[in-house]
Amino acid sequence: MSRRRQFDDEDEVQMKRRRGAPLIEDVEKKLQGVIGKVGENTGSSIECNLDKLTAFLHDDLEKYRASIIDIIAGCAIYLPNRVTVYTTLVGLLNSKNFNFGGDVVEKLISEQQDLLSKQKYQEAQNLAIFLCDLGNSGVLTAQSIGEYLESFIAAAFEENMPQVRNDYYIQTVLRCLPWIGKELTEKAPEQMENIGEAIGKYLELRNKNHVALLQVWREGSTDQKQEDYLESLSAQIEALRNADWVENHIPRHYSGFETTLQDALQHNLPSFQSPEHTSDMIYPYPLVVFRLFQDADCSAFSSKPLPGDSSIDRFLFEGEIAWIIEKNQFNRKACARELLAFAEENPSVPIGFLIFETIFGQMLRLPHAPYPAIFHCSLVLELLKLKPDDYPQILVQTVECIYRRADSMQPVCIDRMVDWFSFHLSNFQYRYTWTDWKDCLNKDAFSGSQIFVREVIEKCRRFGSYEKIIAALPQDFVKIHPCSPEVRYLIDEEDTALVQRAETFTQMFQERQPAEAFLNELKSNDENDELPYNINEFGLFVMVMLKMASKTYSHNFSALFRYQTTLKTVCDASELYQEKLLETLYSCWKTNQQMLMILTDKLLKMQVIDCSAVVGWLFDEKMWQEHDRQWLFEVLNQALEKLTRQINVVEKDIKELTEKTENKIKEEDDEESDIKMDEDETKEEKFKQDLEDLENNKEKLERMVTFQKGLFNDFLIAFIEEIKNAATSNTSEMDGSGDTPGTQTPKFMWLRGRFCHVLLAHAETLLKHSSNIADEVFSEGTDPSIIECFNQFQSLRL
């Protein structure tokens, strides 16, 4: 872009000024465009553009002061990659107009408080970095910035506060130091020393139980570091400090205006006032740094060295990559283009490896990935398309690094890798060097590597045809081939009575008889039977229905809707019928996991079965054989999440009704004394109805929460019993000597990982009930490693 094009917007504003007063909105839009584009890569230098923009804006400061300040504040919040561009701009304008600099600082402080009250923590942190960098551009004194950061430290040491809150304030200080550390060391050394000592003391006293729970690989199972985020960042800052604060990434544009900026009058930055903590405030979860590559992994593909783990450059590069992804999370094509542009801007570093490490770090982040899986899947494809010569090799290296460590990988992370890789292969006709993974075939059925490969094959089968995926696999893989996804019709042909009843139901289905006819047919004729319907014949009815509807998903849905009344009437009569329905569904469709998942979800939505029936079925001892499969935990988490969503809806209704009734009462109090409520009977009746609805919803919520607590408790007790069984029954499974401890077998480690998975998947709900769970679920015989896992989980919100 030419210099003339860069300032076309400025010319347009000047022309409108000469023609007459333009609409304020038009001018604001042009100002926003001019200021927003100043950091872009144009034909001229950023310093030159800043000089021109300063002169241009200075002429309009008095007329459009508020608009200019608002735009700069927006850039400070939402364009963190250009922080030094805009701090330089504010510094130059401050040198010409001292009051303007003070107004900007006042606005930023106000915005930061507002963002924190709205729990927008990342944006508030961006402003903290911006405010600190204003010390480099001559706007703020180093002494006041030191006091500002010390007030963050003080907030982190307040008593009886959640650790996650304190972590956030310490993290904010650490993130500011790459920008302002050198300035503080030179001009406020005592404060800098105090900050360093306080952070060291905080990290020493801090609870780190959560770290093992949030690591992608089990602790000690890999040579790759899996450090706590604060510990890692603190080490990087310490290395930077020892290097006299010299880093190679932050573009310090203000250094080109040193003479102008050093003569400007400076402001004092007010101390930070932390918002009052309330019980409903939710702070960011702690993080564990994801590392996949070391320099040796890159040397075969690139001669450029990878920044070390303790290098601040690694942190800064990763931060910018993460910001590009966040900014473009709804546009994979733009995201891929900007990532490649960033790589081209930094030719001395193998940015491609850092891009893939960041993407997969986000994909595998615990407890939750920041973006939907489909975004990461499509972004990887887009990167390969734009960089076909280099990035496919980096991706292969990525997959191999992860596969090598699969045996010690958290089950939930294996699930995410399965989802991504199966989707990825579906775009390449399932072609892969499968023979590279044949070592997994000789491992335990609960080993992470075999589960990963087996589940990838199963997911690929869902994306394509059964025959196509089988043809793509080597002959050696027959051991883990998926079964043909066909309905199973398990009727003993020698049982004449059973065959006749099946024929009766078949004929009734063909005649499309109504629900009443089926209910009459299913009624029990045994006077001693306590159940109103014959449970075995109900199972037969379901089996025949599924067999006749097995052609397509649509046929199955139609059958469920057509006979919803029959199914619901029978299942409402007793939980035993729900169990029978689910058992029959499993026996018919056990070789088609996708059909199982979809039909179970459909039955839940139709309220034919409830969540407790699904959870009880999945953790019945007869289903333990399926606990190395991904589909079972998908169904489990969907059922539990469905109940949570229902509770959230009721909570929302209560909140709205509470606000509505409170406003009504307030309106009545504000009315004049001569106005009587009985003058408007309709409003009175509506108010009474709202109060009644509010009470009903509160009672409903109490029942649902009690049910949810009981469901989680019962389910966790059943899960712990299964894990206990795995520890005792598999003591010598790995070798005949019996020397392998039961808690070290692949099965035990896998089930323990799944236990952690369920805790993390429902963290928001379970953390509310954690004290109740600790009292009700754990007994003296509970394995210590399970209790340790739960303690780690509780520390997420300490």
Is it the case that residue 40 has pLDDT exceeding 80? no
Contact yes or no for 140/123 (Cβ under 8 A): no
| CATH topology identical between 1-140 and 295-474 | yes
The CATH fold assigned to 1-140 is: 1.25.40
Structure tokens at 132: 């600190």
Provide φ and ψ at 523, rounded to 5°: -60, 140
Contact yes or no for 339/321 (Cβ under 8 A): yes
How would you write 395-441 as a 3-class SS string?
HHHHHHHHHHCHHHECHHHHHHHHHHHHHHHHCCCCCCCHHHHHHHH
- Write the single-letter amino acid at 698: K
Closest CA to 311 of 338, 349, 345, 343: 349
Structure confidence at residue 420 (pLDDT) = 97
Structure confidence at residue 497 (pLDDT) = 84
Closest CA to 458 of 494, 497, 485, 488: 485
Instruction: Just give the CATH number of 295-474.
Output: 1.25.40.180
Structure confidence at residue 36 (pLDDT) = 80
Kindly report, residue by residue over 289-312, the tens digit of the pLDDT: 999 988 777 877 777 888 988 999
Structure confidence at residue 22 (pLDDT) = 44
Domain parsing of the chain, residue ranges: 1-140, 295-474, 496-590+592-622, 639-667+681-797
Structure confidence at residue 294 (pLDDT) = 82
Per DSSP, what are the bridge partners of residue 533?
523
State which H helix or E strand residue 619 sits in.
Answer: none
Contact yes or no for 355/319 (Cβ under 8 A): no
Average pLDDT over residues 361-377: 96
**Which of 141-145, 328-332, 502-506, 731-735 is predicted least confidently?**
731-735
Kindly report, residue by residue over 610-636, the tens digit of the pLDDT: 999 999 999 999 999 999 999 999 999
Kindly report, residue by residue over 532-588, the tens digit of the pLDDT: 999 999 999 999 999 999 999 999 999 999 999 999 999 999 999 999 999 999 999
Has domain 496-590+592-622 been given CATH number 3.40.50.360?
Answer: no
Structure confidence at residue 114 (pLDDT) = 95
Structure tokens at 257: 């205006």
Q: Compute the distance between CA of residue 139 and CA of residue 335 in angstroms, rounded to an integer.
A: 34
Structure confidence at residue 490 (pLDDT) = 82
Residue 632 three-state SS: helix
Q: Compute the distance between CA of residue 771 and CA of residue 783 in angstroms, rounded to an integer.
A: 18
Q: Compute the distance between CA of residue 395 and CA of residue 773 in angstroms, rounded to an integer.
A: 42
The full DSSP string for 221-281 is S-SS---BHHHHHHHHHHHHHHTTT--SS---GGGGGHHHHHTS--BPPPPP-PPPP-TT-
Q: Compute the distance between CA of residue 796 and CA of residue 642 in angstroms, rounded to an integer.
A: 23
Q: Compute the distance between CA of residue 678 and CA of residue 680 in angstroms, rounded to an integer.
A: 5
Is it the case that residue 486 has pLDDT exceeding 60? yes
Closest CA to 756 of 47, 280, 214: 214
Q: Compute the distance between CA of residue 11 and CA of residue 16 in angstroms, rounded to an integer.
A: 9
Distance, CA of 344 to chain centre: 29
Structure confidence at residue 18 (pLDDT) = 40
pLDDT grade for 43, boundaries at 50, 70 and 90? low
Q: Compute the distance between CA of residue 386 and CA of residue 122 in angstroms, rounded to an integer.
A: 30
State which H helix or E strand residue 462 sits in.
Answer: helix 448-463
Closest CA to 179 of 142, 136, 123: 136
Q: Compute the distance between CA of residue 316 and CA of residue 49 in angstroms, rounded to an integer.
A: 25
Q: Compute the distance between CA of residue 649 and CA of residue 241 in angstroms, rounded to an integer.
A: 51
Q: Count of alpha carbons within 13 Å of 246, Cβ hemisphere only?
A: 3
Closest CA to 74 of 119, 37, 108, 30: 108
Is it the case that residue 13 has pLDDT exceeding 80? no
Contact yes or no for 50/92 (Cβ under 8 A): yes
Average predicted confidence (pLDDT) for the chain: 89
Kindly report, residue by residue over 227-245, the tens digit of the pLDDT: 999 999 999 999 999 999 9
Q: Compute the distance between CA of residue 64 and CA of residue 58 in angstroms, rounded to an integer.
A: 10
Q: Compute the distance between CA of residue 769 and CA of residue 763 in angstroms, rounded to an integer.
A: 10
Contact yes or no for 560/607 (Cβ under 8 A): no
Q: Compute the distance between CA of residue 494 and CA of residue 492 in angstroms, rounded to an integer.
A: 5
pLDDT grade for 122, boundaries at 50, 70 and 90? very high
Contact yes or no for 176/140 (Cβ under 8 A): no
Q: Compute the distance between CA of residue 631 and CA of residue 625 in angstroms, rounded to an integer.
A: 13
Angstrom distances, CA of residue 557 to CA of 516, 540, 571, 606, 673: 20, 19, 18, 11, 61
Contact yes or no for 329/375 (Cβ under 8 A): yes
The residue behind tokens 């952070």 is 199
Q: Compute the distance between CA of residue 793 and CA of residue 669 in angstroms, rounded to an integer.
A: 48
Structure confidence at residue 737 (pLDDT) = 44
Per DSSP, what are the bridge partners of residue 228?
288
Q: Compute the distance between CA of residue 392 and CA of residue 555 in angstroms, rounded to an integer.
A: 41
pLDDT grade for 77, boundaries at 50, 70 and 90? very high
Structure confidence at residue 279 (pLDDT) = 85
